[in-house]
Amino acid sequence: MQASTSTIPHLIAAAFHALSDPLRIHVIELLRQRELCVCDLCDALKVSQSKLSFHLKTLKEASLVNSRQEGRWIYYSLNIPQFQVLEKYLAGFSHNSVISPAISCCDLGRGE
């Protein structure tokens, strides 16, 4: 599903919020290697399932992870297209490495 231009700022903000927590970063790092079930994530992170569920919900709402259910287990994986949106957004800053100085308000005819 392609994001519309109007939803991109929301997706970027949600993604940066989701990435602002060390535990969620650790989840992302674990999922870089392979899809994992909740029980494997809990074991690797040494956290309870209820605590992890809160963080996984935040990552899902930011479209950073996908989930699928198989039997009674839920498996999580990275949503690569969302990371590509973030990569494209951040790449735009390196292309604009020269930032023009501000134009004085007086130069724009707004001065008094």
Is 29 part of a structural domain of the chain?
yes
Q: Does 61 map to a domain?
A: yes
Residue 97 belongs to a domain? no
Distance CA(35)–CA(58), nearest Å, equals 18
In this prediction, residue 4 carries a pLDDT of: 54
Q: What is the CATH number of the domain that holds 45?
A: 1.10.10.10
76 in any annotated domain:
yes
Strands 36-37 and 65-70 come out as unpaired
30: containing domain: 8-88
Q: pLDDT value at position 13? A: 92
Note the Cα 44 to chain centre separation in Å.
21
**pLDDT at residue 5 in the model:** 53
111 is a domain residue: no
- What pTM does this model have? 0.78
43 dihedral zone (left: phi>0; alpha: psi -120 to 50; beta): alpha
pLDDT digit of tens for each residue in the chain (112 aa)?
455 555 678 889 999 999 999 999 999 999 999 999 999 999 999 999 999 999 999 999 999 999 999 999 999 999 999 999 899 988 887 776 677 788 887 766 655 5
Is 112 among the domain residues? no
Total domains in the chain come to 1
Contact 67, 76 (CB under 8 A): yes
